[in-house]
Amino acid sequence: MTRYQPEIDLDAISAIDMHVHIEQDDHGHLSLDPMLMDASEAYFKGSDNRTPTVGDIAARYRASGMAAVVFTVDATTALGRPAISSEEIATRAADEADVVIPFGSVDPRQGERAIDRARSLVQDYGVRGFKFHPSLQAFDPTDPALQPLWSALQDLGVPALFHTGQNGIGAGLPGGRGIKLRYSNPLLLDDVAADFPGLTVIMAHPSVPWQVEAISITTHKSNVFIDLSGWRPKYFPPELIRAAGGMLHRKVLFGTDYPLISPERWLADFAELGIKPERHEYILKSNAVEVLGLG
């Protein structure tokens, strides 16, 4: 096993995409069942490659002069199906370390096993953070039973990236396929950030319908950031555009949600938002360099 070590030439890249999904491993195993996969694709109205592997993503971002944070979501308990291996993602990322940065994912409902695995993913495999999706994984971030996991991540010194707001997975299906949106209310993460001030919390996506809450939390707590993935910028809520270009320009991070939104489409929209050009560097790269410890 080769442990991941970043080899990114920061002068050679223009941006770091903080939110890229691995939807298929090298063995053809998909992260979601076909019904959920189809529903999410319909919600986002298609993509150029719905199930890219680590190698596919590395080639695409290398050609674009960008780096990408990649991950899956381990929802084994909630979905009743095995997740794509975060260990395998990290091992593959080690071969593409000039443009790929691996995050791990563990199932919070697996208790001590999740904590042990998180430690191994950081210490043995070199992952640089963790991705959680409270709605898909069916957990409340404020559940006292999860505090040992958040404490372990704080001790490991890696960020935790949480889905927030509206959910494309299950959208348009009866009952949303049982996926509960309330678990993705950013106010739940305010508790986590307050109780674990040494843990960097990244709230993924415009947190609609709770965007004002997300901005308030990020303004209040120095250890909280927002990634701008999951929506094309031309659809961003006005209050998010004002905050990203103003008081939060050091607290927001470029992200796409690729393969659901392409980086080229996202960047073209972003250029039209009217954010001062001198603040683009922070949003597209410098803030991520700080959060990921790449400086």
Cα–Cα distance measured from residue 167 to residue 40, given in angstroms and rounded to the nearest whole number: 9
Average pLDDT value for residue range 188-213:
97
Average pLDDT over residues 159-178: 85
| pLDDT tops 90 at residue 39 | no
Indicate if the pLDDT at residue 32 is higher than 60. Answer: no
Provide the pLDDT for residue 247.
Answer: 97
pLDDT of residue 49: 67
As a whole number, the mean pLDDT across the chain is 92
Is residue 249 assigned to a domain?
A: yes
DSSP string, 88-110: HHHHHHHTTTTTEEE-B---GGG
DSSP assignments along 196-265, one per residue: -TTS-EEEES--TT-HHHHHHHHHH-TTEEEE--SS-GGGS-HHHHHHHHTTTTTTEE----BTSS-HHH
The CA-CA-CA angle for residues 17, 18, 21, to 5°, reads 90
Please tell me the pTM assigned to this model. 0.92
pLDDT (tens digit, 9 = 90+) per residue, 230-256?
Answer: 999 999 999 999 999 999 999 999 999
Residue 41 has pLDDT above 60, yes or no: no
pLDDT at 45 over 60: no
Residue 285 lies in a domain: yes
pLDDT value, residue 171: 73
| Owning domain of residue 102 | 15-292
Q: How many domains does the chain have?
A: 1
Report if residue 6 sits inside a domain: no
Q: Is residue 106 part of a domain?
A: yes
Query: pLDDT tier at 199 (50, 70, 90 boundaries)?
Result: very high
Give the pLDDT mean for 143-172. 93
Joined tokens for residue 285: 């790269």
Confidence bin at 34 (pLDDT 50/70/90) = low
- Domain assignment of residue 10, yes or no: no
25-29, 213-217, 229-233, 257-261: lowest mean pLDDT where? 25-29
Give me the CATH number covering residue 271: 3.20.20.140
- Who has greater pLDDT, 80 or 282? 282
Per-residue pLDDT, averaged over 100-104, amounts to 98
Q: Is residue 124 part of a domain?
A: yes
pLDDT at residue 61 tops 80: yes
Residue 8 included in any domain:
no
At 2 the pLDDT is 85
Q: What is the pLDDT of residue 26?
A: 59
